């Protein structure tokens, strides 16, 4: 069994901003890309090919999709959380922020 350690939450954590949520998603993407098996699985499940990765990354929902992928696999979520020193709750909050539409019709 793996031993995961996380940063202890402070009593008064600042509200997670959209910029901070984007930073977390980029960290997750880097974490996925650092391991060929993790990255290939992300590409396969997302339907994104290496040839259209740059175009997909420019899409508004790309960062949210990265966090959706992470959240769909508890073991991966916990491994990233331990690696990055982020609480899973912060990742969930980032996912929520990036999944919310920025404009209402």
Q: Where are the domains of the chain?
A: 36-99
Q: Is the dihedral of CA 39, 43, 44, 45 positive or negative?
A: positive
pLDDT tens, per residue, the chain with 105 residues: 555 555 555 444 558 999 999 999 999 999 999 999 999 999 999 999 999 999 999 998 999 999 999 999 999 999 999 999 999 999 999 999 999 765 544
Residue 3 three-state SS? coil
Taking alpha carbons only, the member of 46, 19, 20, 21 closest to residue 32 is: 46
Residues 96, 15 contacting (CB under 8 angstroms): no
- For 25, the token pair is 């998603």
pTM of the model: 0.80
Say which residues have a Cβ less than 8 Å from residue 53's Cβ, sequence separation at least 6. Answer: 43
């Amino acid at each position: 069994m793996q031993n995961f350690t996380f940063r202890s939450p402070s009593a008064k954590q600042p509200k997670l901003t959209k910029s901070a949520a984007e930073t977390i998603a980029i960290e997750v993407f880097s974490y996925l890309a650092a391991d060929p098996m993790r990255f290939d699985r992300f590409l396969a499940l997302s339907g994104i090919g290496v040839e259209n990765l740059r175009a997909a990354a420019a899409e508004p929902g790309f960062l949210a999709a990265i966090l959706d992928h992470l959240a769909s696999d508890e073991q991966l979520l916990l491994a990233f959380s331990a690696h990055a020193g982020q609480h899973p709750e912060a990742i969930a909050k980032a996912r929520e922020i990036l999944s919310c539409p920025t404009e209402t019709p």
